[in-house]
Amino acid sequence: VSNPNPNTGAGVLLDLDTRGANDLGIRYYNGTTYWVSGVDPGDSMKYKIAKNWQVGANEYFVIDTTGKVGIGTSAPIAKLEVNSTGTYGINITNIASSGAGYGIKVYGKGGYSSNSYGVYTESQSDMYGVSGYGIYSSVTGSGDNYGIYATASGGTNNYAGYFANADVYVEK
Residue-level pLDDT at 4: 59
Residue-level pLDDT at 88: 78
The radius of gyration computed from the CA coordinates of the chain, to the nearest angstrom, equals: 24
Residue-level pLDDT at 126: 65
Residue-level pLDDT at 119: 73
Q: What is the largest CA-CA distance in the chain?
A: 72
Residue-level pLDDT at 128: 62
pLDDT per residue, tens digit, the chain (172 aa), is: 455 565 655 555 566 666 666 777 888 888 899 999 998 888 999 999 999 888 888 899 999 999 999 999 999 999 999 998 877 788 777 777 777 777 777 777 766 666 677 777 777 766 666 667 777 778 888 888 888 888 888 888 888 888 888 788 777 7
Rounded to whole angstroms, how far apart are CA atoms 110 and 117? 8
Residue 88 CA from chain centroid, whole number: 12
**H helices, E strands: number in the chain:** 0, 6
On whether the CB atoms of residues 71 and 83 are closer than 8 A, the answer is yes
CA neighbor of 71 nearest in space, from 89, 52, 93: 89
Residue-level pLDDT at 8: 58
On whether the CB atoms of residues 70 and 58 are closer than 8 A, the answer is no
Residue-level pLDDT at 120: 74
On whether the CB atoms of residues 32 and 43 are closer than 8 A, the answer is no
Residue-level pLDDT at 78: 92
Rounded to whole angstroms, how far apart are CA atoms 137 and 68? 29
pTM of the model: 0.67
Rounded to whole angstroms, how far apart are CA atoms 139 and 120? 21
